[in-house]
Amino acid sequence: MKRIEIYDTTLRDGSQSEEINFSVEDKLRITEKLDELGIHYIEGGWPGSNPKDAEYFKKARKLRLQNAKVVAFGSTHRASVSVEKDHNIQSLLKAETPVITIFGKTWDFHATTALRISLERNLELIYDTVKYLKSRVEKVFFDAEHFYDGFKNNPEYALKCLEAARDAGADCLVLCDTNGGTLPDEVKKITREVKKGLKCKIGIHAHNDAECGVANSLAAVASGATHVQGTINGLGERCGNANLCSIIPNLQIKSGYACIGDENIRKLREVSRFINEIANIRHFNRQPYVGDSAFAHKGGVHVSAILKNPETYEHIRPELVGNSRRVLVSDLAGKSNILRKTEELGIHIDRNSPQLEEILQTVKELENQGFQFEAADASFELLVKKIMGLHRRFFDLIGFRVIVEKRKEGEEPLSEATIMVKVGGHIEHTAATGNGPVNALDNALRKALEKFYPALKDVRLNDYKVRVLSTKKGTGSRVRVLIESGDNERKWGTVGVSENIIEASWQALVDSIDYKLLREEDK
């Protein structure tokens, strides 16, 4: 079975999507999730371009990845300085990744117009950069920027660029459709010519401006490419990059290539939704393979047929990619997902148990209210344990008050939270300030509980996101709050939903503390 390397660039190309801005913690969390999926290479960013990416690479070295290698991304050295003295090149080496990807111009138009250098000098930049880095890291990949456009304009020069990278020791030559306007027949023909002429490892990096990103990636593989780059959910600049959520199953399930393994591909929908939640964007229901509607059937002939045999109206079994069948007129799906998730938590539930039905109905009801559990595993685990009778209350809220006061124009508001809780037979009444109402409430709650539960001193709030679920009511709209917390051993996500942002935040904060305390009891 032929193996295809999967190279994810969500953390760089994906972050260039309009309205998406990943924090360092976001990027670390996504890295771990992509590793769980079985991705081979994760492009973390461009360490020479901004402080955030430099910080990411420093922290990423501490991650215990099982499958993936983190990759630093950058350009060929500047024409005005030698490769040894180029700051961006040195930043790539300081990232200390085993693999570096370098992009270089392969379209003569770009070399002369964008870089304003001679074609011969451009070849020198490619060769010198790849050779210098190859002697210092395990692998170097060369992204041939604008390759397909360059080949159509000047095939001889485009090939010379690839030859320069190959001769310098590049481990893979990645053909890029950077403008995203090449069609599959062109990709197939050009890739085949390149593969035949160079006889080396070839990859594909496609954009989706003509909505051919996935098709172009498949066409390149059919022509000999064994390395495929893309992003989860097709995130990326302009119209996005080739969507790995479609490419992977098309290659692995439909075409018989070895990509990430059968067990890992069942996590595809989970990872898709997880990254959308972290990116704080809505899920695309009609997305192939992983969307809510991908295997949804409504009424008439379709429902009658799939109840007899799902293959009548489904091109694959939804379980293969972690999705589930939905019959919209009488919802029969969902139990398998709940069972799979509870098994991961180490909780055994019989398929015919009334508790399973209660969990399923509760999840459906909460999701209808706006809750989402894809990036809030801790809240889901608590929900299950409450229904199963495996949860206990660690404290009871008597009441809280949050005050936000702005004393003078131009000064930051002051936030103070007062809280009263009952722990066993003790009542604790305290107050704390914060840089915002939620931070103040978090500080007050911790202050009240830490004397009873010292382990809470290790808990930190890593990230906080708010999603407006509907804009029809303006400032009175329902919101979803997603919180990521962590301690010295793990990270976990919790969720809350309400028309009141403080109440939604309170729900997520309480779940975060409950989860920590339950974990402490299990030790």
Q: Is the pLDDT of residue 331 over 60?
A: no
pLDDT at residue 85, rounded to an integer: 95
Residue 494: exposure state from Cβ atoms within 10 A (0-12, 13-18, ≥19)? buried
Q: What is the mean pLDDT of residues 17-30?
A: 95
Question: CA-CA distance, 148 to 474, in Å (whole number)?
Answer: 47
Burial class (CB in 10 A: 0-12, 13-18, 19+), 464: middle
Digit-coded pLDDT (tens) for 194-212: 999 998 999 999 999 999 9
Instruction: Quick: pLDDT tens for 39-86.
Output: 999 999 999 788 999 999 999 999 999 999 999 999 999 999 999 999
235 contacts 39 by C-beta, under 8 angstroms: no
HEC string of 360-400 equals HHHHHHHHHHCCCCCCCHHHHHHHHHHHHCCCCCCCEEEEE
What is the per-residue pLDDT for 334?
A: 64
**Residue 307 pLDDT exceeds 80:** no
Say which residue the tokens 């090449």 belong to. Answer: 182
Asked if pLDDT for residue 327 goes beyond 80, the answer is: no
pLDDT digits (tens, 9 = 90+) for 147-162: 999 999 999 999 999 9
DSSP state of 306: H
CB 42 within 8 A of CB 264: no
Query: How wide is the angle at C-alpha 88 spanned by C-alphas 82 and 90, nearest 5°?
Result: 75
Mean pLDDT, range 329-333, rounded to an integer = 37
Residues 6+ apart with CB under 8 A from 23: 52, 463
Q: How far apart are the first and last CA of the chain?
A: 43
How far is 441 from 420, CA to CA, in rounded Å? 11
Q: pLDDT value at position 35? A: 98
Percentage of residues of the chain with pLDDT beyond 90: 77
475 pLDDT band (50/70/90 cuts)?
low
CB 222 within 8 A of CB 254: no
With a cut of 60, say whether residue 332 has pLDDT above it.
Answer: no
CB 37 within 8 A of CB 267: yes
Query: Which whole-number Å values give the CA distances from 440 to 49, 402, 436, 462, 506, in the listed order?
Result: 35, 8, 6, 15, 11
Q: How confident is the model at residue 360 (pLDDT cuts 50, 70, 90)?
A: confident
pLDDT(329) > 60: no
Amino acid at 163: E
- Residue 494 pairs in a beta bridge with 483
pLDDT band at 230 (very low <50, low <70, confident <90, very high): very high
Between strands 139-145 and 296-297, the pairing is unpaired
Q: Which residues pair with 203 in a beta bridge?
A: 174, 227
Q: Which of 246, 217, 211, 249 is nearest to 232 (CA)?
A: 246
Contact 15, 44 (CB under 8 A): no
pLDDT on residue 345:
82
- 375 pLDDT exceeds 90? no
Residue 48 neighbours by CB distance under 10 Å: 20
CA distance 97 to 497: 40
C-alpha span between 236 and 433 (Å, rounded): 40
Over residues 121-133, mean pLDDT? 98
Q: Which CATH architecture has domain 353-392+459-523?
A: 2-Layer Sandwich (3.30)
Nearest Cα residue to 264 out of 70, 67, 28: 67
Per-residue model confidence (pLDDT) at position 39: 98
Contact 294, 326 (CB under 8 A): no
Non-local (6+) Cβ contacts of 417 within 8 A are: 400, 401, 402, 403, 431, 432, 433, 434, 437, 440, 441, 443, 444, 445
pLDDT at 389 over 70: yes
Average pLDDT over the chain, rounded to an integer: 93
- For residues 87-97, average pLDDT: 96
pLDDT over threshold 60, residue 330: no
In this predicted structure, the answer to whether residue 333 has a pLDDT above a threshold of 60 is no
Q: Can you give the pTM of this predicted structure?
A: 0.77
5-279 CATH pick, 3.30.70.2190, 3.20.20.70, 2.40.37.10, 3.30.1360.30: 3.20.20.70
Residue 257 has pLDDT above 80, yes or no: yes
Query: Residue ranges of the domains in the chain?
Result: 5-279, 353-392+459-523, 395-452
For 105, 117, 142, 149, 404, the CA distances from 121, given in Å and listed in that order, are 11, 6, 17, 20, 61
For residue 114, name the pLDDT band (cuts at 50, 70, 90): confident
What does the pLDDT read at residue 311? Answer: 86
pLDDT at res. 325: 84
125: confidence class by pLDDT, cuts 50, 70, 90 = very high
| Two structure tokens written together for 483 | 């919180």
Higher pLDDT, 50 or 12: 12
What is the architecture of the domain spanning 395-452?
A: 2-Layer Sandwich (3.30)
What's the distance, CA 268 to chain centroid?
A: 11
Q: Which residue has the higher pLDDT, 521 or 41?
A: 41
Average pLDDT of 231-244? 98
199, two tokens: 């006889």
Residue 313 pLDDT > 50, yes or no?
Answer: yes
Same fold, 5-279 and 395-452: no
Where does 370-500 have alpha helices with state H? 377-388, 437-449
- The CA distance from 348 to 342, in Å, is 7
